Structure 1
């Protein structure tokens, strides 16, 4: 399917690896010039080269911390008028809620709620003036199904979802959509890190912990990041203008619900 995106420009946050990288690659394959971002300049450069080799689009790496005003300014200097914004960011580490002090809680809220809102504030009006904009926020299944140890991540991402529920509606008449993708367990470095922590705490091998986690998913496997990328690209497409304000689970059936 032609997604109708050739020649568009996208900013994809936290895209040197994992789900963000998959989104940047899928958009590049659809003909979108992408600005990618990460903290590790070397890894980011390797990702940019890889995406450029696999697509026929311009790939611009911007090494910056998006939780700072300086980092956001650097990203927008590279792409002042994006047609597409993919908000993605790492979450707070797995930690018991009793261990969270005020500094850690504020940092988590900035990371997973405030930063995406600030970036949307900076690009939404230009999108509306051009009558095309696609904003996709990569959040988490924990917005719907809180997991012990990820309480801060759950709360911050749920706050982002609630905040944007109202903000999305006035943009719809300008062909600007705002949606959320809620991933379950995907084969990423973050999943490996939490699995290692679980294995250590229970005194079992990493492989055993991995098998147990996968067996709890009806699909009996972890997700492939490319599956997120393709969903993201569709939500950004010319065909998805009637989808807005939605939170879309992609979790292999893990969250058991009727709606």
Structure 2
């Protein structure tokens, strides 16, 4: 399917690996000019080359901390007019809520709520003026169902979801959509790090714990960054203009609910 976004400029935050990288690849395959981002310049350069070689797309790496104002500005300076924004950022490490001090809480909220809001503020007026914009926020299934140790991440991402629920309706009439993708257990470094925290508490090895987790998923496996990226690309497409303010759960059927 032609997604109708060839030549569009997409910014994908935290995209040197994991789900962000999956989104960047899918958007590059759709014909976008893609600005990718990460803090490790060497890893980011390797990712840029790999995506460029795989897709033939224009890939622009910007090594920067997306949580810092100067980092976001560096990305915007290289991107120019942004048509597509994929907000993504690492979350705070797994930690019992009793261990969180005020500084840790503020940092977590900055990473997973304030930063994507500030990035959106920087690009939204240009999108509405041009009559086209797509914003996808990578949040978490923990917004809907708590995960032990990720209370700070869950709370910050839930705050982002609630904040943008109203904003998405304000700009829908100007050709701009804002949606969220909620990953469940995806096969990423982040998942493995979470497993270590939980496995230690359960007295199991990471491999044993991972096997038990996989057995609980109706799909019988963890999700992949590739399939996650395909969904992101569709939500950014010309065909998704009537979809906004929605939360797309990608968890292999793990969270049991009818609505």
Deviations 1:156-187 (A, max 9, x none): 00000000001111111111000000000000
Counterpart check, 1:201 vs 2:201: yes
Secondary structure of the structure 1 residue equivalent to 2:66: coil
* Rounded Cα–Cα distance in structure 2 between residues aligned with 1:228 and 1:141: 13
Partner residue, 1:184: 184
Deviations 1:95-118 (A, max 9, x none): 100000000000000000000000
**Aligned pairs (5 A) from 1:133-152:** 133-152=133-152
Partner residue, 2:220: 220
After superposing on structure 2, the runs of 4+ consecutive aligned residues of structure 1 that deviate more than 3 Å are none
Aligned length: 259
* Rounded Cα–Cα distance in structure 2 between residues aligned with 1:22 and 1:107: 26
**Aligned pairs (5 A) from 1:101-116:** 101-116=101-116
Structure 1: tracts of 5 or more residues without a match: none
**Aligned pairs (5 A) from 1:116-135:** 116-135=116-135
- What's the TM-score, normalizing by structure 1? 0.98
Partner residue, 2:68: 68
Counterpart check, 1:254 vs 2:254: yes
Partner residue, 2:36: 36
* Rounded Cα–Cα distance in structure 2 between residues aligned with 1:67 and 1:217: 33
* Rounded Cα–Cα distance in structure 2 between residues aligned with 1:141 and 1:233: 19
Partner residue, 2:153: 153
- Which has the larger displacement, 105-114 or 72-81? 72-81
Residue 254 of structure 1: how far off its partner (Å):
1.0
- What's the TM-score, normalizing by structure 2? 0.98
* Rounded Cα–Cα distance in structure 1 between residues aligned with 2:196 and 2:97: 19
Counterpart check, 1:50 vs 2:50: yes
Over aligned residue pairs, what C-alpha RMSD do you find?
A: 0.8
Residue 81 of structure 1: how far off its partner (Å):
1.1
